[in-house]
Structure 1
Amino acid sequence: MDPAAGAAREHAGIVGLLDRRAAVRAALELLRTEGDVVWVAEPVEGDSPDLTLAQIAGDRTGQLRGLTVSHGLGLTGKVAGTGTPSWVDDYLSSAEITHTFDRVIDLEGVQRLLAVPMGRLGVLAVGARTTGTFGGRAVARAEAVADEVALAVAVAERARLAREVAVHEERSRIAADLHDSVGALLFAIGSGMAGLSDALGADPELAARLARLQDQAGEASVALRDSLRTLRSSPAVLALSVALRADCAAFRDRTGTAAELVVLDDPPALAPSRTEAVVAGVREALLNVEKHAGASAVVVSVAASVTGGLVVAVTDDGVGLTADTPRGIGLTTTADAAGRLGGTLRVVSDPSGGTTWRLELPCP
């Protein structure tokens, strides 16, 4: 039997897994029959060409977990650079690889190592703690499993996207129903009360009660518009909005200072790593406002940039910054994180008071 075909049938169950990490874990367990320790080196988030050993099965020391591997270094880095399978039957003495990771490999007791490329998913590696040789059959088996993992991940991503689209479509339907029903009813109530105001004459008590009702109807209309905007947001944008809204609420609770989130236009969806960078940056900006600004109000705004990226701004009406105000560690850390993602961070003060913290990130 062709080993690749047999392996493909043996691993076909992986395709049914709708979780990316679960699919990779299943593949690692299957490949442990070929060796003692197995890992997947995945691309690092952002623009870095490096890989990180993100998922491992069968390791002993924990030294491999989270290890960063650059292209060309060790066997994993070599395969990442060449895009072709490779193996060494005596890792520590092989002349075909660099020995950047010898100490870790030696601690793990790995004698020989096989690695195959997985395209954009990284590199799959199988290490054995016994002497011997891998040979063509082991390579074919590892390549077959790598192909199945790639297929399983594609299925998982399509399933996740389909779920998000279904949720987004249902939210949009609910938003349309609320606009047509509750929105129309609030408009009719407001129009009716405006007509009553003309018919009341000079009764001040009734006029005051009617004015309060009109204000409440207006507040209800604003709340409805905010809810409709949230319902129409894509799931990724909604996640960012929920996190930032919670941070604004926490800021209000801590300081007693008004803080509101305003989502403009239809901001682009972000990768999880970029969402984390935005949320961490806004929290740092709000902390700086709390410590230094003496503000009475803060607005956090989220919008699409003219280039299709994301712009997040934190604006306060506080005392502002002077030319000699030192740049703190938190601001420097946020700027560095934005730079690694191809973005920029600017902090500008108005001479009359107030400061705007503005983060802009591209959305590749």
Structure 2
Amino acid sequence: MDDELEAVAREQAELVALLDRRTALRATLERLAADGDVTWVAEPVPGDDEHGEYLVLGQVHGDRTGLLRGLRVPRGLGLTGKVHDTASPLWVDDYLRATGITHTFDGHIEAEGVRRLLAVPVRRAGRVLGVLAVGARVDGAFGDRAVERARAVADEAALAVAVAEQARLAREVAVHEERSRVAAALHDSVGALLFAIGSGVAGLAETAGGDPELVARLDRLQRQASEASTALRDSLRTLRASPSALALAVTLQADCTAFTDRTGVPAELVVLDEDPPRLPPAGTEVLVAAFREALLNVEKHARAGAVVVTAGHHPRGDRIVVAVTDDGRGLPADHAPGIGLTHTADAAARLGGSVRVASPPEGGATWRIELPC
């Protein structure tokens, strides 16, 4: 029994590590340390207009001085910055004498006693998410095996980051859904009560007659009820609001939930990127209207048992793609677009986007919209 409990606890710990970005990256650095003494992960951070994007060494393992922790590395500088720019592994077996890199951080490297350094990009879906580096304090050379191991660890790190970010996004979407539910409940209960109080006080004021003291007290109560209603509206607006980066994901998730509630057919949203897609207001309006039309068509015609919705950036990075895939009976051979599909396709085209529907021979259908960011 104790062995079973230990196994369950171990699996739970592994799952928690997988769903937490920092924990996953820390475990990655510990694995990478097998080929050296000090390891770090550098992740890009947006800069101001003057300096642009730079990298930050957010996690460091095995250092001695603390100089590397939180170090900012402008793009292209040092080995780490160069790997981020080239998106290719690079290494030097004598850092302080190496050519082909800037020596901006020689003081940090020398203080740590690092003689040689290997760095590899962390890539996912064509995007560089960061840089992993391993430094050794003894003379020698990084061979092919060390480079391949570092690449493998970087691939694991990319997957871990993607899983952790999906978990984070799911949690944040769930929080915003719960806040919206609380806001609706407050509106229906407290809002209705305040309205009733205000109306009741107004009615009493009309029958107060010539008693000036009573009229003044009723006026004061009416003002307080009005102020409370205004404060409630402001609070509800705050509860319902979501950050711009989450707004589209929250909306799509809400529509998926509503679809499942109406039809009993599970609809799952998968956001494919570390950062949720963002669109200007006009694009968001077109996308959401088209997405709802697509779900309505699935509800009316597909006879589906499940629906999967994916949202993410196009591989080129300048367009957003949302797809609705169902496992229903597919499109008939003589399918012609209806008024709804034609209207949404025209609206997307006016913004430089497109809408397409495809159905493979084995059944099911995929509706897909692309819009420029």
Q: TM-score range by the shorter chain?
A: 0.5 to 0.7
Quickly say closer, same or farther: Cα 1:15–1:139, change in 2 above 3 A: farther
Structure 1-normalised TM-score? Answer: 0.57
| Secondary structure, counterpart of 1:78 in structure 2 | helix
Question: Structure 2 residue aligned with 1:81, among 62, 81, 85?
Answer: 85
Unaligned runs of 5+ in 2: 1-12, 246-279, 285-372
Q: Is 1:50 matched with 2:54?
A: yes
Q: Contact conserved, 2:19 with 2:163, CA < 8 A, in 1?
A: yes
| Secondary structure, counterpart of 2:141 in structure 1 | coil
| Secondary structure, counterpart of 2:91 in structure 1 | strand
Displacement of 1:15 after TM fit? 8.5
Displacement of 1:235 after TM fit? 6.3
Q: Is 1:69 matched with 2:73?
A: yes
Quickly say closer, same or farther: Cα 1:74–1:133, change in 2 above 3 A: same
Match of 1:97 in 2: 101
Structure 2-normalised TM-score? Answer: 0.55
Q: Contact conserved, 2:46 with 2:54, CA < 8 A, in 1?
A: no
Match of 2:160 in 1: 152
Q: Quick one: distance in 2 between partners of 1:92 and 1:57?
A: 21
Matches within 5 A, 1:271-290: none
Q: Quick one: distance in 2 between partners of 1:55 and 1:211?
A: 61
The one-letter code matched in structure 2 to 1:40 is V
The one-letter code matched in structure 1 to 2:146 is A
Question: Structure 2 residue aligned with 1:207, among 215, 219, 239?
Answer: 215
Spell out structure 1 runs of 4+ moving beyond 6 A. Answer: 304-308
Question: Structure 2 residue aligned with 1:164, among 162, 172, 180?
Answer: 172
Quickly say closer, same or farther: Cα 1:182–1:84, change in 2 above 3 A: same
Cα deviation code 1:111-143 (max 9, x no counterpart): 221110114322111111122222121112111
Quickly say closer, same or farther: Cα 1:186–1:72, change in 2 above 3 A: closer
| Secondary structure, counterpart of 1:33 in structure 2 | helix
Q: Contact conserved, 1:80 with 1:122, CA < 8 A, in 2?
A: yes
Matches within 5 A, 1:1-364: 13=14, 16-46=17-47, 48-119=52-123, 120-234=128-242
Quickly say closer, same or farther: Cα 1:98–1:46, change in 2 above 3 A: closer
Q: Quick one: distance in 2 between partners of 1:154 and 1:187?
A: 47
Q: Contact conserved, 2:79 with 2:90, CA < 8 A, in 1?
A: yes
Cα deviation code 1:173-199 (max 9, x no counterpart): 121122122212222222222222222
Q: Which has the bigger relative contact order, CA under 8 A and spacing at least 6?
A: 1
Quickly say closer, same or farther: Cα 1:208–1:61, change in 2 above 3 A: closer
Displacement of 1:63 after TM fit? 2.8
Instruction: Give the aligned length.
Output: 232
Q: Quick one: distance in 1 between partners of 2:174 and 2:81?
A: 40
Q: Quick one: distance in 2 between partners of 1:208 and 1:191?
A: 16
Q: Quick one: distance in 1 between partners of 2:77 and 2:238?
A: 47
Quickly say closer, same or farther: Cα 1:107–1:79, change in 2 above 3 A: same
Unaligned runs of 5+ in 1: 1-11, 238-303, 309-363
Quickly say closer, same or farther: Cα 1:75–1:218, change in 2 above 3 A: closer
Q: Quick one: distance in 2 between partners of 1:38 and 1:203?
A: 81
Percent sequence identity over aligned pairs: 70
Cα deviation code 1:175-232 (max 9, x no counterpart): 1122122212222222222222222322333323322222222222122212212221
The one-letter code matched in structure 2 to 1:33 is A
| Secondary structure, counterpart of 2:35 in structure 1 | coil
